[in-house]
Amino acid sequence: MMQAEEIEKLINESMPDAKVVIEDLRGDGHHYAVTVESEAFKGMVLADQHRMVFTALQGRVGGLLREMTLTTRLPSKKGESDGT
């Protein structure tokens, strides 16, 4: 099992500006929905953004962290809508 705080810590170590939102989908510490917003994603395609996050998690997805849905995005600028 992997705690949400550990996920956030690992991501923030690799991307210090990241805003990380984590939801435990089943309340079991194994299934999370993670949203990461960071300027580090600028100019990257979605696959590279996700790879960056998975690299930050140091191979724990599929092991200690059984399942994770991931959303990545650039921070919205003031006055801009992110479409949600």
pLDDT for 28 equals 82
Strand order in the sheet with 67-73: 19-24, 31-37, 67-73
With a CB cutoff of 8 Å and minimum separation 6, the contacts of 4 are 22, 24, 29, 32
pLDDT digits (tens, 9 = 90+) for 21-51: 999 998 888 788 999 999 999 999 999 999 9
Q: What is the pTM of this model?
A: 0.82
- The per-residue pLDDT for 65 is 64
Compute the distance between CA of residue 82 and CA of residue 74 in angstroms, rounded to an integer: 9
The Cα–Cα gap between 61 and 50 comes to 12
**Per-residue pLDDT at 64 exceeds 60:** no
Task: Look up residue 50 and give its amino acid.
Answer: H
Greater pLDDT, 69 or 11: 11
Q: Is the pLDDT of residue 10 over 80?
A: yes
CATH topology for 4-73?
Answer: GMP Synthetase; Chain A, domain 3 (3.30.300)
Q: Using alpha carbons only, what angle is made at residue 32 by residues 30 and 17, rounded to the nearest 5 degrees?
A: 125
